[in-house]
Amino acid sequence: MGTRPIKKQAPRGDLAGHDTEAPDSLRFPKDFVWGAATSAHQIEGGNTNSDWWDFEHQAGSGCAESSGDACDSYSRWRQDLAVVADIGLTSYRFSLEWSRIEPTEGEWSLAALDHYRRICASCREVGIEPTVTFHHFTNPRWFASQGGWEAPQSPALFARFCEKAGRSLGDLIGRACTVNEPNMVALIGYLLGEFPPGRKDDTEAFVTVTKNLVEAHRRAVEALRAGPGVYPIGLALSMSEVQVVPGGEEFAALAREMMEDIYLRELGGDDFVGVQSYSRTYIGPQGPVDPPRGTRLTAMGYEYWPQAAEAAIRRAATATGRPVIVTENGIATNDDAERVEYVSEALRGVHRCLEDGIDVRGYFYWSLLDNFEWAHGFGPHFGLVSVDRSTFARRPKPSARWFGEVARRRELIPAAQTSSGLRNERRAGPEIRSTVGEESSANAGRQSRPPD
Ligand code: BGC
């Protein structure tokens, strides 16, 4: 699958009041954020104190393999940051591992907080805005053993963690996402059984967990706003355009309500809404069904549907009236040219939203690295950068060079037009060996703010 040439189009209007630059090309606003995203458990390695680690090691959990050393990013985060800077992106989205920061209830690890503080400070040093996610699927073991998100105290426990971490890092944070895809935590953990705690069809728990996650977000926003630093705060919601198969109307309405609207209704006071969308969902009378036979699929088995980001932006903007950021979008594929094709189409959709006056502020590709794809293990390759599974060497793929150049130029360009000339390249480039933020400057910018 090659990349299709991108035709230049005349914009249909103002780009949400931003600087539109050349009128005859697919240009993006000057202050548009270009980023790549990761999450702690998927890249750090050795997250032995989380409920996911337990789940991966449980017989019968259905997990393909353990996260193990993942990408060894707890040690190699400087290389990751060097890659982000080298590619030419303006923001790096990563998550805090709650189980490292609060290993036992009420006990706070200054060393873990310092670790994340060093990442934030090093981002700043190299001109990259740190976008920090406070919860990305994993819970500390102690939290899970108290009932996890079903427990009535769960929103308060999460808010306390946000308050502590926000107090330590807030002066360096560029943007915060409270909870990553709370709707997936509830759906996959309590109805599908493929995330911890591995429950199937537990509708009652699904409803309780959904309500608690909505409240956890609200309390987290309050806790972070009360702390140091002034930065935009939002939720990162998984969204999926629903294709109703005849007879599926009622189920589709219920799915929209429980998966999206119940969250969107609460977000009117947030600084932005983070949308994450990869594909769309077909819903019949009994629930989700496979897409029609012959549909093009990605390596995850989803329909190849790069319009997903555009659909999510439009729906979130209409429902909330808030600025929108695509906090995740991407494709799992071993064909890097297909990645460029997918992202090009997705960015065309983002651009159409801008032309229609929707306030879209940024696009984060998922993911920076080929990493641990939860129950699927290391099989699916979402990364702009490959990671050697035995040496951990990071090698940017041609798509990384292309995406970086799009970001630098703020213009959608075909892969063939990149200065590095990616036309026939399919494989990752040389290993990136540089790092940023040496250990000696670890406390750069630290205004010692230990938690209570
Ligand atoms: C999640 C990521 C995941 C990605 C691809 C998103 O739902 O936030 O953790 O790796 O999708 O499946």
Q: pLDDT (tens digit, 9 = 90+) per residue, 180-235?
A: 999 999 999 999 999 999 999 999 999 999 999 999 999 999 999 999 999 999 99
Q: CA-to-CA distance for 103 and 161, rounded, in angstroms?
A: 11
Q: Is the CB of 39 under 6 A from ligand 1?
A: yes
What three-state secondary structure class fits 382?
coil
Cα–ligand 1 centroid distance for 229 (angstroms): 28
Q: Give domain status of residue 320, yes or no.
A: yes
Q: Give domain status of residue 49, yes or no.
A: yes
Q: CA-to-CA distance for 434 and 40, rounded, in angstroms?
A: 21
Q: How many residues does the chain have?
A: 452
Q: Which residues contact 357 (CB under 8 A, 6 or more apart)?
A: 13, 14, 16
Bridge partner list, 274: 236, 325
The answer to whether the CB of 98 falls within 8 A of the CB of 161 is yes
Q: Is the CB of 277 under 6 A from ligand 1?
A: no
Q: Which stretches within 11-125 are classed as H helix?
A: 40-43, 51-56, 73-87, 98-101, 110-125
Q: Is the CB of 162 under 6 A from ligand 1?
A: no
User: What does pTM read for this prediction?
Assistant: 0.91
CATH of the domain at 262: 3.20.20.80
The answer to whether the CB of 378 falls within 8 A of the CB of 67 is no
Q: Is the CB of 95 under 6 A from ligand 1?
A: no
H-run or E-run covering 160? helix 154-169
Q: Give domain status of residue 435, yes or no.
A: no
Atom of ligand 1 nearest to the CA of 180: 8
Q: Give domain status of residue 118, yes or no.
A: yes
Please report the sign of the dihedral spanned by the C-alpha atoms of residue 107, residue 110, residue 113, residue 115. negative
Q: Is the CB of 194 under 6 A from ligand 1?
A: no
Buried b (16+ CB within 10 A) or exposed e, 16-32: bebebeeeebbbbbeeb
- Residues of the chain with pLDDT below 50 are 1-24, 423-425, 439-452
Q: Give domain status of residue 93, yes or no.
A: yes
Q: Give domain status of residue 16, yes or no.
A: no
Q: CA-to-CA distance for 41 and 95, rounded, in angstroms?
A: 9
Q: Kindly report the number of other CB atoms within 10 A of residue 329's CB atom.
A: 26
Write out the two tokens for 383. Answer: 């990364």
Q: Give domain status of residue 70, yes or no.
A: yes
Q: Is the CB of 355 under 6 A from ligand 1?
A: no
Residue-range definition of the domain harbouring residue 201: 33-425
pLDDT in tens, 361-394: 999 999 999 999 999 999 999 999 999 999 999 9
The tally of domains found in the chain comes to 1
Q: Kindly report the number of other CB atoms within 10 A of residue 254's CB atom.
A: 12
Q: Give domain status of residue 431, yes or no.
A: no
